[in-house]
Amino acid sequence: MSNARNVVIVGATGAVGQQFISILEQRNFPTKRVRFLASARSVGKKVTFRGKQYPVEELTEKSFDGDQIGLFSAGGSISKQFAPIAAKAGCLVIDNSSAFRMERDVPLVVPEVNGEEVTNAPRNIIANPNCSTIQMVVALKPLHDAARIRRIVVTTLQSVSGAGARAIEELRVQTRDVLDGKGRDQLDRSIFKHPIAFNAMPQIPSKADFNEAGYTSEEMKLLNETRKIMGDPSINVTMTCVRVPVFFAHSEAVNIETEKKLSAAQARAILSRAPGVQVVDDPMAMKYPLAIDAGGTDPVFVGRIREDQSIPNGLNLWVVADNLRKGAALNAIQIAEEVLRREPAKV
């Protein structure tokens, strides 16, 4: 294919890295060459891509010769060190960490919302937003365009896969141990400070990083990233992020206040036409988005659409999406697709 690119995956053995591999295959992304990088401890492992096995190579400063698109998901410190090196070597970096998201000269992109920003990457780096932000803005941008959102109140219910593969295993083992009769003090807690099985923790990340106002870094991402992606610094956002004992997919209870009134029926019609959104909204028949159904799928699901009876121009929404796919790997690959669509000759 004339627009095929040399692609490198950084963090190829991690949960998001594995999703990169799967989604590149599923979407038939045009590749000439694909390479898979990780830390030294992963060297010797093999990954399978399009029916062939490839060795995992060690990530070094000399890793990016000839690479044209880099999909990074190896953590913020790795991105800060290696993304500029890759970018200087001519590799367009699409970074899944928080390292560059709020930097002025790095676009923060959700293709359904602000895809045009991929053409404005002077540092050859494009940032992939936080998982919870992505699904929320996909659902809210069409409503913002129709009625201008003034305020967002959101509570996220986030799956353990957002904390990585070891967190998934911790939930699995704790669930088994609780059912076997073990007490709280007997549960392994290497990832989360408190037990996650049969529990809900109003703190993400699990380390103590509350700011002076009492908000965590994860919560502040919903404010700062939403404003940047939506291109409207006047939007007010207040939020609480909660870790729940779900393996995959994040759920969000979202309340919005708009300048112009939107009825539930109008909002439902707008969202039914919105790119990347699937409306599931028949609560009388017990049909609404569920994390168990969203896992392994691509859409942002929206349901429980109803007017807020406490204010004149308010709506409530229930928003669910797979955090490893649309919340991470899929969005990054959609960014790469948008780059190819808009600038096929420049990457």
What three-state secondary structure class fits 125? strand
Q: Which residue has the tokens 């609780």?
A: 178
Residue 212: is it exposed, middle or buried by C-beta count within 10 angstroms (0-12/13-18/19+)?
A: exposed
Beta strand 277-279 with 57-58: parallel, antiparallel or unpaired? unpaired
**Which residues are catalytic, by number?**
131, 250
Place of tokens 């790997």: 329
Within 8 A by CB and 6+ apart from 168, the residues are 15, 160, 161, 247
Which is it for strands 300-307 and 31-38: parallel, antiparallel or unpaired?
Answer: unpaired
**Which residues pair with residue 278 across a beta bridge?**
301
Which residues, 6 or more positions from 60, have their beta carbon under 8 angstroms from its beta carbon? none
* CA–CA dist 58, 41 (Å, integer): 8
Alpha helix ranges (H) inside the chain: 15-26, 76-88, 111-114, 131-147, 165-179, 217-230, 264-272, 291-294, 330-342
Decide: 331 and 134 in contact? Cβ < 8 Å. Answer: yes
Strands 69-72 and 5-10: parallel
**DSSP string of 54-82?**
EEPEEP-TTTTTT--EEEE-S-HHHHHHH
One-letter amino acid of 176: R
CA angle 71-72-77, nearest 5°?
165
